[in-house]
Amino acid sequence: MSGVLTSNERIMRPSDVESGLINLAGAPPSWAESFTWRMGQRKSLWRLWKQLSRLQRSLLLVLAVAALLLVASRMGQAPVPPAPVAETGRPPEEATPPQILPSTPQPPEDIKVTLGHSFLGATPETASSRLFQQSVGLRERREAVVNAFRHAWKGYKAYAWGQDHLRPLSRTGHTWFGLGLTIIDGMDTMYLMGLHEELAAAREWVAHNLQLAQHKDVNLFETTIRVLGGLLSMHTLTEEQLYLDKALELGRRLLPGFRSASGVPYSDVNLASGVAHAPVWAPDSSVSEVATLQLEFRTLSRASGDSQFEVGHSCLRGGQLQTDGFLQLHKTREHVVLTIPPCFHVLNKFQN
């Protein structure tokens, strides 16, 4: 063998191995160059993939899987068959007979609504259209409310008659003040609803079973708004002397709550002994309670002609309000003293 190489033979050099120029079995240079290009591309793609962060690679994999699933779902969908045609030769939606739509609800005949012009610009026509464009008429709504009241009243009468409240789960009564709060509190509602039978039973209980000389402490605010207010409401609606007499007796038993040194009424009063005191859960009365009693006590004075009830509540103000609406305060070196209205001497002494 001579030491001369043919044109198809080459000596393998280390640089050829590193660059991928491996010519096996006399392969032509064109094949070697294409092989070298493919190897370089694979290395560059793999190097680019390795340069990505783990999060980027995860996102790309998720997107690829989602794309494959989307393509597979699109390919697996069956073609939509054409809509069937009825015997008449028309599509089913055209062959369906026309439906009769319900008419717009009209106001009940027994309810007359008089609408005037509002200063805000509303006209009777627009107000009427909003009022009666409802799925349920006013009569049905009214009957639903009355039936709900009847249902609640039936349960109270069956399980807690004469007591203050009904415990609906245990079906037992609860006595708080012993004044039949539910009965008196609901009488004006019965009157307005026209529940004559229920109202007659409630009136009978007030006339023969309501005992106001309860030897227990009652809350001045709750007793005023629920019992005194309920009795005065019934007297206003019916003008029956029974309700005014009961309201007068209760008002006299509540007056000791206004005889406090500060002028702010006490929160609790014993209806039998006339002893009043601050609440057991706080050193002072709640302003939101004692400041909202004027309606009932003023109504009681004007209905009975006895001014002591209105004067008693007026002691909370005393006519000495400043222009900012607060009671006058006298500052001393050590204390700030509230001005006491000089009107408590006109209150009658409590009598059993």
Q: Where are the domains of the chain?
A: 123-211, 215-352
Contact 316, 290 (CB under 8 A): yes
Q: Residue 177, Cα to own-chain centre: how many angstroms?
A: 29
The 10s digit of each residue's pLDDT in 6-49 is: 444 455 555 554 444 445 445 555 555 555 556 566 667 777 77
Q: Residue 336, Cα to own-chain centre: how many angstroms?
A: 42
Low-confidence ranges of the chain (pLDDT < 50): 1-2, 4-9, 17-22, 24-25, 86, 110-124, 127-128, 318-323, 329-333, 335-352
Instruction: Kindly calculate the radius of gyration of the chain based on its CA atoms and give it in whole angstroms.
Output: 46
Give the CA count within 13 Å in the CB-facing half-sphere of 126.
6
What's the confidence (pLDDT) of residue 55? 86
The 10s digit of each residue's pLDDT in 315-348 is: 555 444 444 555 554 444 454 444 444 444 334 3
The CA distances from residue 161 to 22, 183, 208, 263, in Å, are 108, 8, 14, 38
Cα-based angle 186, 192, 197 (whole degrees, multiple of 5)? 70
Contact 290, 264 (CB under 8 A): yes
The CA distances from residue 109 to 82, 144, 147, in Å, are 53, 18, 21
0.85 exceeded by pTM: no
